[in-house]
């Protein structure tokens, strides 16, 4: 079955927030959480994956606050992973979901990991894809991809050219980025509320993200699949190694000739691997 954005589009109230999400399939739920780049939305991140993953169960693709169709709230105090994992927990409560699998890319990966650290009993299997929260053991930080992401809103004047520079850094093959996708993300990125107070700008010289690798990861009973693009220029492959070492039940899959957006560039193989992992 082929799902469309319109037929799967939903909203739910979470405290004073309106959270937009797409809902497809039936069965045990998997929550898919997008990355934090300018103009990101759940559907733009995962549109190539929904149909296949919905064959394994219910697929819920969330727009985090400040992104897509969800409420724009600006930067929040504390760490981003802490804030967003708390929103996801309340989102699950609003939908009467006690437990779910998680698939998270970049910011969404760090959010998924933080959620699992805080409430492992509510997380099933967890896919961390180019996830934040790790520690690169060889690469210098911030990477060129992160610098371009932070520069996008730095002067308060986002442009299509700056967005293309960033988006092309996310993939190995820039031909994968269509003009349609670029324009969709650009229009999302120039929401006046987001431009006025973007959540992704560094605070005090560094991003407001937590070092999740310092947490007691070895105690987590959950099964993890770590996925990385070998040519990731946003969060490099060596960020995966400490997560692989510290999570007691983790396996790593590396896609060659692939950047930060593995679910997009390697959709066919990604869908097969993740679908098999999520099967009961």
Q: Which ranges of 33-106 would DSSP assign to H, the alpha helix?
A: 42-46, 50-53, 80-94
Q: Give yes or no: 260 in active site.
A: yes
76 contacts 83 by C-beta, under 8 angstroms? yes
Q: Which two tokens stand for residue 19?
A: 């959270």
Report the C-alpha gap between 159 and 231 in whole angstroms.
26
167: left (phi over 0), alpha (psi -120 to 50) or beta: alpha
Q: Which two tokens stand for residue 107?
A: 């910011």
- 127: helix, strand or coil: strand
Of 113, 145, 154, the C-alpha closest to 247 is: 113
* Annotated active-site residue in 20, 34, 253, 260: 260
Of 246, 260, 81, the C-alpha closest to 172 is: 260
The set of catalytic residues is 260
């Amino acid at each position: 079955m082929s799902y469309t954005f319109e037929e799967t589009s939903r909203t739910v109230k979470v405290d004073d927030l309106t959270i937009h999400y797409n809902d497809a399939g039936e069965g045990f739920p998997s929550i898919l959480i997008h990355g934090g780049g300018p103009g990101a939305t759940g559907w733009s991140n995962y549109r190539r994956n929904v149909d296949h993953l919905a064959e394994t169960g219910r697929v819920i693709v969330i727009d985090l606050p400040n992104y897509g169709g969800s409420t724009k709230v600006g930067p929040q105090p504390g760490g981003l992973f802490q804030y967003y994992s708390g929103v996801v927990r309340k989102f699950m409560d609003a939908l009467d979901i006690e437990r779910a699998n998680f698939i998270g890319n970049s910011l969404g990966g760090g959010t998924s990991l933080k959620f699992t650290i805080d409430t492992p009993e509510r997380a099933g299997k967890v896919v961390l894809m180019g996830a934040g929260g790790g520690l690169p053991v060889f690469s210098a930080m911030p990477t060129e991809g992160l610098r371009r992401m932070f520069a996008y809103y730095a002067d308060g004047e986002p442009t299509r050219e700056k967005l293309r520079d960033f988006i092309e850094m996310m993939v190995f093959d820039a031909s994968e980025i269509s003009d349609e996708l670029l324009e969709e993300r650009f229009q999302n990125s120039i929401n006046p509320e987001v431009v006025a107070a973007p959540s992704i700008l560094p605070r005090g010289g560094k991003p407001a993200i937590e070092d999740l690798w310092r947490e007691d990861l070895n105690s987590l009973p959950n099964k993890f699949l770590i996925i990385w693009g070998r040519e990731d220029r946003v969060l490099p492959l060596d960020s995966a190694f400490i997560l692989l070492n510290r999570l007691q039940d983790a396996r790593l899959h590396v896609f060659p000739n692939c950047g930060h957006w593995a679910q997009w560039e390697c959709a066919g193989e990604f869908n097969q691997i993740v679908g098999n992992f999520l099967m009961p």
